[in-house]
Chain A
Amino acid sequence: MGIIVIFMVLIAAVAFWWLSRQRLTAKPWLEVGIIGDVGGRWPPTLPKAKIGLGVFLAVAGSLFALLVSAYSMRMAMVDWRTLPVPAVLWLNTILLILASVALQTAVAAGRRDDFGGVRSSLLVAYASSLAFLFGQVLAWGELVAAGYFAADNPANAFFYLITAIHGAHVLGGLVALIRTTARAFDGPETSPPRTIGELRLGVELCAIYWHFLLLVWLVLFSFLMHWANDLVSFCRAALT
């Protein structure tokens, strides 16, 4: 459970940083009149959707941190048997990095009002994400063909579970990506500035979500490849 505790400490650090800017030591009973929040203006300037996504990523982050916690806790037991990691996962990792980079390019293109660039980058991101999911299914097929079934032992079960939950999050992201892509193809060049602003925001939200998915995947991948084991056992040795 060490990993989830570390994750919670990170969340707590963000929460306390934010709280520290909320004048928690004010004496509200002495202050009559209008006061704005310190460090922010009223009305708030950050888009609600961005804050909403941030909160959601904290929830999803907690989910993955718990999965990895459970995984590493089980790995630490003496009877742990590893399974071979299919080589296609390397290719998938590169595909996911590509999607993330493409979305970042789309964000930059949106800021320059280069809508052609936005459209092509979104399509690249979409294609490489689909290819990533296809690759994950290939990896599953390879393992099943080699006789590693989920019910056989905990290592197999964890592998399928972790990749499936991550894949489900990619799939959910693709729905948002399709809607943003449709908006980008809806002639933003001639739209009012408000619609363009919404498109920019949509692309930005997709990019943030994909960076998160990539980060999570890299952590999961390092655990699946057993690189993280050495780190964890090192930490455990250092603590005890």
Chain B
Amino acid sequence: MVDVTHGVAVPVAEVGDVELYHPRSWVTKYVFSQDAKVIAIQYSLTALSIGLVALVLSWLMRMQLGFPGLLSFINADRYYQFVTMHGMIMVIYLLTALFLGGFGNYLIPLMLGARDMVFPYVNMLSYWIYLLAVLVLVAGFFVPGGPTGAGWTLYPPQAILANTPGQQWGIILMLVSLMLFIIGFTMGGLNYVVTVLQGRARGMTMMRMPLTVWGIFTATVMALLAFPALFVGSVMMLLDRVLGTSFFMPSIVLMGEQLKYGGGSPILFQHLFWFFGHPEVYIVALPAFGIVSDLISTHARKNIFGYRMMVWAIVAIGALSFVVWAHHMYVSGMNPGFGFFFATTTLIIAIPTAIKVYNWVLTLWRGDIHFTVPMLFALGFIVTFVNGGLTGLFLGNVVVDVPLSRTMFVVAHFHMVMGIAPIMVIFGAIYHWYPKLTGRMLDDTLGKLHFWVTFVGAYAIFFPMHYLGLLGVPRRYYEMGETAFVPPSAHTLNEFITIAALIVGAAQLAFVFNLFWSLRHGRPSGGNPWRATTLEWQTPETPPTHGNWGKELPVVYRWAYDYSVPGAAEDFLPQNQPPMPRTP
């Protein structure tokens, strides 16, 4: 090993204490808090709560598909509203908010050895604007006409035409909520980026950062650049709806009546939406990649295989994801030459992604694998992600995509790759970091039950959907009716999927119960229950108090993956452990 300290003991914390905001009352400590850890918990609880709403919506959708007519209050309008709200909530208000607002806020300062985010006040605003966005979104359920049923892509012209459910208020609230979310996210995102750039502890070089931080950092940069596209699209559509402009609305004759619109371009919205929408997939995936790398390394007691490759792959995926957006538009009638270009870039992304998968598997190879609950979820992620990634190779090709685009195959693909896979990581991460948040372990038996039902159940739901898609069962349909090409077996399969979905959903209630029960009754965890190397496990107190580090900031002497180092007394060396004195 190279000892780069040149044998000099370095004084701890050469700089004075950073100016830290100090809460003075209960309200500023727990409600309007500027402490990133509290903001992280606020973000996470809000995201998980709204996620439960989306889970119930998916139950209702499945009830309609599996047992049409059984729940009489579900009509076609309601069904489309459920689809729309389920998709939008899961992608933006749950996954994006939880990975960046939740895990980002908690882990970035702690993992980098900082006392807090660099702009705590703006960070607090970020959460409250996010909460406002969620409330505006939920308000859609209570206005006349209900929430919008335009599909989560909100394609014009149909999104704002009279026959689409939620055309009166729902679509307006949806667009306003998205704009608020983007403003709130931008405030948080500035914090995450600048904290990584400027707030690292002494000795914490970029190449010593845990991959979790690399993933969240890169995803935040992408989100900051991609969300403006959704913002512009939302503003324009809002003007089309409210002021009657024609950014996206062509001249339309509806029910024999000429509408006032004219000259707008619906395809323009698709470009703007997917310029945001595709990076969004990786905004969710990159933090998951990072977190899963750390989970696997810690619970297999082995250094991550190919750390440099992992970093380069994260950066490469981040850059490439900005030049693939039109692969969502193969069936929009665009120039086939563009299709060829975008298919090529899409398939190239498979290379850095495959590198990451190989490295996870090679980290496991001959590792001392502990089948803890976080590890189970990490392994579940690898399986579901590879599964969903492979069907992505199908859909990335124009000629394969065109016949499959409107079928359940696409539903199966994106749920596998950006639904189940990231959720697996979220669960694994919650089981992994819950002891740091609370000082207690989550219950292991309930956790294993949660994992097996979720993992097997998710396969029972989404694997059969591939077959439905190949049979030609269309997505977005409220009911099949008498459809000649859909055999009776497809209906049986739909019933099976619905029952599986109900069971998986119920298993999540066990998880929610576990979260609250363990708060009181969980086994005390101590400061570092997983014997992990990264800085967040080395705080003087658990849960970490305000300011994270007591009097002195930590100094970093090594990378984040010193597990099972030959000759070391323990099987892990924390990042802030000074090098052993050299024996002459």
A51 and B192 alpha carbons, distance in the complex (Å): 12
**B229 CB → nearest A CB, Å:** 5
**Which of chain A's residues have a CB closer than 8 A to the CB of B271?**
1, 70, 73
A175 within 8 A of B: no
A43 touches B4 (CB 8 A): no
Kindly identify which residue among B198, B246, B272, B557 contacts A51, using a CB–CB cutoff of 8 Å.
B198
A63 touches B555 (CB 8 A): no
A66-B229 contact, Cβ under 8 Å, with A30-B1, A34-B202, A73-B265: yes
The interface centre, meaning the residue of A4, A37, A66 with most chain B CB atoms within 10 A of its CB, is: A66
What string of 1s and 0s marks CB contacts (under 8 Å) between B264-280 and chain A?
11001001100100000
A82 within 8 A of B: no
Query: Which residues of B, 105-138, contact A by the 8 Å Cβ criterion?
Result: 118-119
Kindly identify which residue among A66, A150, A154 contacts B264, using a CB–CB cutoff of 8 Å.
A154
A94 within 8 A of B: no
A151 and B236 alpha carbons, distance in the complex (Å): 12
B119 touches A161 (CB 8 A): no
A55-B275 contact, Cβ under 8 Å, with A28-B307, A34-B4: no
Kindly identify which residue among A73, A151, A165 contacts B244, using a CB–CB cutoff of 8 Å.
A151
Q: Which of B94-102, B315-323, B356-364, B414-422 contacts A (4 or more CB under 8 A)?
A: B315-323
Query: Which residues of B, 209-264, contact A by the 8 Å Cβ criterion?
Result: 221, 224-226, 228-229, 231-232, 235-236, 239, 243-247, 260, 262-264
A26 touches B262 (CB 8 A): no
A169 and B247 alpha carbons, distance in the complex (Å): 22
A55-B3 contact, Cβ under 8 Å, with A25-B308, A29-B303, A153-B263: no
A143 within 8 A of B: no
**Which of chain B's residues have a CB closer than 8 A to the CB of A30?**
1-2
Kindly identify which residue among B202, B205, B229 contacts A23, using a CB–CB cutoff of 8 Å.
B205
B207 touches A34 (CB 8 A): no
B561 within 8 A of A: yes
* Residue count of chain A within 8 Å CB distance of chain B: 53
B225 touches A11 (CB 8 A): yes
B208 within 8 A of A: yes
Kindly identify which residue among B197, B272, B579 contacts A33, using a CB–CB cutoff of 8 Å.
B579
B265 touches A161 (CB 8 A): no
B354 within 8 A of A: no
**Which of chain A's residues have a CB closer than 8 A to the CB of B197?**
44, 51
A15 touches B221 (CB 8 A): yes
The residue in chain A whose Cβ has the minimal distance to the Cβ of B218 is A15
**A94 CB → nearest B CB, Å:** 28
A5 within 8 A of B: yes
A44 and B243 alpha carbons, distance in the complex (Å): 49
A58 and B246 alpha carbons, distance in the complex (Å): 29
**Which of chain B's residues have a CB closer than 8 A to the CB of A11?**
225
B186 within 8 A of A: yes
**B117 CB → nearest A CB, Å:** 10
The residue in chain A whose Cβ has the minimal distance to the Cβ of B10 is A34
B263 touches A150 (CB 8 A): no
B394 within 8 A of A: no
What string of 1s and 0s marks CB contacts (under 8 Å) between A29-59 and chain B?
1111111110000111010100110011011
The interface centre, meaning the residue of B199, B226, B246 with most chain A CB atoms within 10 A of its CB, is: B246
A24 within 8 A of B: yes
A66-B224 contact, Cβ under 8 Å, with A23-B205, A34-B5: no
What string of 1s and 0s marks CB contacts (under 8 Å) between A11-30 and chain B?
11001000100111111111
A157 touches B246 (CB 8 A): yes
B224 touches A150 (CB 8 A): no
* Residue count of chain B within 8 Å CB distance of chain A: 68
A37 and B556 alpha carbons, distance in the complex (Å): 12
**Which of chain B's residues have a CB closer than 8 A to the CB of A153?**
246, 262-263
A73 touches B198 (CB 8 A): no
**A138 CB → nearest B CB, Å:** 21
Kindly identify which residue among A23, A43, A70 contacts B206, using a CB–CB cutoff of 8 Å.
A23
A112 and B311 alpha carbons, distance in the complex (Å): 45
The residue in chain B whose Cβ has the minimal distance to the Cβ of A1 is B271
**Which of chain A's residues have a CB closer than 8 A to the CB of B268?**
70, 73-74
B477 within 8 A of A: no
A161 and B226 alpha carbons, distance in the complex (Å): 20
Query: Which residues of A, 181-206, contact B by the 8 Å Cβ criterion?
Result: none
The residue in chain A whose Cβ has the minimal distance to the Cβ of B262 is A153
B315 touches A28 (CB 8 A): no
A66 and B227 alpha carbons, distance in the complex (Å): 11
A106 and B57 alpha carbons, distance in the complex (Å): 57
**Which of chain B's residues have a CB closer than 8 A to the CB of A48?**
118-119, 194, 198-199
What string of 1s and 0s marks CB contacts (under 8 Å) between B52-76 and chain A?
0000000000000000000000000
B173 within 8 A of A: no
B312 within 8 A of A: yes
A7 and B533 alpha carbons, distance in the complex (Å): 40
A62 and B199 alpha carbons, distance in the complex (Å): 25
A177 within 8 A of B: no
B558 within 8 A of A: yes
B203 within 8 A of A: yes
B423 within 8 A of A: no
B119 touches A52 (CB 8 A): yes
A176 within 8 A of B: no
Q: Taking beta carbons and an 8 Å cutoff, which residues of B are in contact with A?
A: 1-6, 10, 14-15, 118-119, 186, 189-190, 193-194, 197-200, 202-203, 205-208, 221, 224-226, 228-229, 231-232, 235-236, 239, 243-247, 260, 262-265, 268, 271-272, 275, 303, 307-308, 311-312, 315, 319, 322-323, 555-559, 561-562, 579
Could you list some 9 contacts between A and B, CB below 8 A?
A22-B206, A32-B557, A34-B555, A46-B198, A59-B186, A63-B228, A63-B231, A66-B275, A73-B271
Q: Taking beta carbons and an 8 Å cutoff, which residues of A are in contact with B?
A: 1, 4-5, 8, 11-12, 15, 19, 22-37, 42-44, 46, 48, 51-52, 55-56, 58-60, 62-63, 66-67, 70, 73-74, 77, 79, 150-151, 153-154, 157-158, 161, 165
